[in-house]
Chain A
Amino acid sequence: MTSETTLTSDVQWINECYDLGEKHEHVSVYLIDAGGDYILIDSGSFHHRAAITRRLETATDGEGIDALVLSHSDYPHSANISSFKSQWDDVELIASSGAPSLQGLPEATKCDIGESMTICGRTFSFIDPPLADRSHTTWIYDHESAVLFTADGFGNHHSPSECGLLSTEFEGSIETEDIYTFHNETLVWLRYVDPDRLRAVLESMVAEYDPSYIAPIHGNPIAGEEIDTYLSRLIESAERITAEYDIGDLGTT
């Protein structure tokens, strides 16, 4: 594995961004080196297909990926499945959807949210995510690296100069405003959230898994030592989102 941003010795961040104007939003994938086999977390958007394919070819020395674990079937996460399965032989697709054919994933191996599975000799746990939109979304915890892959929650918008930064490379970590704008735009249901309830479940999850990194599809990776800071800013953002929304605002937001 070569020039991609390294989270741990065996997990690389292949970051791609979508330009929203003043800010960008990541639509990334992550590559795990499972000792000769390669596991990809999410497939990315068709918008970045050529770039991701090229970067995977380089990162795997032309071998390609062996397994693709999907957070959920939303198009920016799943749009390159067919392309990657055509590009490389025998790519196993693992997805949490209860009805894969209805999600356009008839060939998927089903993983169960709340359970664990061995993929390419590596143990993954599939976590029921508190911050998501689609019902079949799973967060993916890689026990060997202790990296927690998340979608859509734990994201952030970022400036064009911050595309490739880890949280530790920001001055003062990832800004609250960028955490707020991402979650306000992406997880609209937060306008009804009980922030204390959300805080309790997220803190419990972090305590249970003690991630080395939280690796969001839509944000800059958050180093373990900065998760508490991020979490505090996330809850502050959730408090602001729900406080700013009044019943009856529908149609004016």
Chain B
Amino acid sequence: MSRQIVPGIHWLQECATDLSHYMDDDDPPDWYEPGEEVHIPQSVYLIEDERSLLFDTFSPASTERVLDSIDDILDGGVLDYLVVSHPDVPHAGNTMAIMDEYPDVTLVAPAYGQAHELYHLETGTLVEEGDTIELGEYTVEFHEAPFLDSAIHLWMSEQTTETLFTVDWQGFPHLGSKCLHFVDEFDHELTREQLLQFHGRVMFWLQYVDAEKLNREIDFVIEKHDPEIVAPSHGNVIREGATEHLSMMKDVVRRIRTDGRIGTFG
């Protein structure tokens, strides 16, 4: 299942049901609908243009699904570029399977970090800040990731649509009935609590940072990119109020710094 953000930029989503059941608390947040599952999404983006580009791969639990989706969207055509944002299993777990299916695909990987050979990335085209790939109507540009886990890591933007792909940043859970819904299609505003639930579990290191320094980086990222669309890997696509939503993370950072990690996803 996929959906187009704009013509030719396809959004695919692999959702995991949260098993921590934190919504079972007596005082659930306003956005939660009792009885619904809570999903933690993983997104993959496929740009279909004169040349095609896939950004991330899903986890090994979805190998057939991602291969089928690529084939459906490209209608049997070729995949030209496979970009791995970072060699984390849920993001890169189908790299080999996709390269087997599309043997002429160009693997694109972050130049940042060390020991790429230990991730089978040493033969890829390694890209860094400012490198671009022209696909036709669309052009993607690569960026050093500010907020990350693995040191081998990339963010990406698309210049024509001013879309910023923030990978592990700006993630949030959604209701099971809202998979592949844009944030502006939710029945509620995206809340800081949703952002906190993701980052307070996944970006655990935020509890050890100088929050004001990191928040100056958030301001810098907003000023630098000024995106129209935010396309995170672990949240639904934001196509309205992109910079305002990015700015919401500053309160989230302060809260995690003050209150600590809130747990893990079950």
**Interface: B61 (CB within 8 A):** yes
Shortest CB-to-CB span from A131 to chain B, Å, is 9
B interface residues, how many (CB within 8 angstroms): 52
* B204 lies within 8 A of A193 (CB): no
Which of A103, A135, A186, A242 has a CB less than 8 Å from the CB of B89? A103
Q: Count A interface residues, CB 8 Å.
A: 45
Task: Indicate if B208 sits at the interface (CB-CB under 8 A).
Answer: yes
CB distance from A88 to the nearest CB of B (A): 23
> Shortest Cβ distance from B257 into chain A, in angstroms?
8
In the complex, the answer to whether B89 meets A73 with C-beta atoms within 8 Å is yes
Which residues from chain B contact A187 at a C-beta distance below 8 Å? 151, 205
For window 185-214 of A, CB contacts with B under 8 Å fall at: 185-189, 192-194, 197-198, 201
Within 8 A of A (CB), among B187-237: 201-205, 207-210, 213-214, 216-217, 220-221, 224
**A47 contacts B by Cβ under 8 Å:** yes
Interface residues of B in 88-103 (CB under 8 A from A): 88-90, 93
| Cα distance, A67 to B170, chains bound together (Å) | 37
Query: Which listed residue, B59, B204, B213, touches A135 by the CB 8 Å rule?
Result: B204
> Which single residue of chain B is at the shortest CB-CB distance from A189?
B205
Instruction: Find residues 130-156 in chain A having any chain B CB closer than 8 Å to their own CB.
Output: 130, 132-136
A128 B87 Cβ-Cβ under 8 A: no
* Nearest 7 Cβ contacts at the A-B interface: A251-B129, A102-B59, A192-B209, A133-B149, A135-B202, A101-B61, A104-B60
Known: A18-B115, A135-B264, A250-B217. 9 other contacts (CB 8 A): A76-B115, A101-B60, A102-B16, A134-B150, A242-B213, A250-B129, A250-B143, A250-B221, A251-B130
A-B contact pairs, 23 of them (CB 8 A): A18-B115, A18-B118, A20-B115, A25-B114, A74-B150, A101-B59, A101-B60, A103-B89, A103-B90, A113-B264, A133-B150, A135-B203, A185-B114, A188-B148, A192-B209, A192-B214, A197-B207, A197-B208, A247-B213, A247-B220, A250-B143, A250-B146, A251-B130
